[in-house]
Amino acid sequence: METFGTIYAKAIDDLSSKIFIPVFISALFSELSPLLHPKMGFWEIYVPLFVVGIVLASLVLLFLSFAEVYVSEFRTYVGMFFMPLGAIGLLPQYFDAISVPYTQVTGFSLLVWSFVLANPLRFVQQLLDY
């Protein structure tokens, strides 16, 4: 019988390629709206962050594709770096010894991006080819 964590990780892995940009926009919204909220309304915050999120996500993917030309499997290593940060942010109750400096939405976003970047099946496939 699979644990809840395993099922949850499989679901994130299956959905990650479809939701990584919307989740990134949600993370921007959750982190920046407390700073902008006293001055602006919901739609005045959401619409610019939506545009900024799409532009930033596109720039990140473009940068990573250029970086992979110079360092083989660069995306995989970046994904593996962000995966524990995403898990820590998503489940802060298990890391009471440290104070997690970002919200659970941002932790979820980091975890989704790490699954997109790491793409473990591609990484294992290349290891088996050697």
What's the rounded Cα separation, in Å, for the pair 92 and 98? 9
Q: Tell whether pTM > 0.95.
A: no
**With 60 as the cut, is the pLDDT of residue 128 above it?**
no
Closest to 28 in 3D by CA, of 48, 42, 49: 49
Name the band, by pLDDT with cuts 50, 70 and 90, for residue 121.
low
Q: Which residues contact 1 (CB under 8 A, 6 or more apart)?
A: none
63-115 tens-digit pLDDT = 887 887 787 778 888 888 998 999 898 888 888 888 888 889 999 899 888 88
What's the rounded Cα separation, in Å, for the pair 10 and 16? 10
3-state secondary structure of 41: coil
Each domain of the chain, given as residue ranges in start order, spans 4-129
Q: In terms of residues, how long is the chain?
A: 130
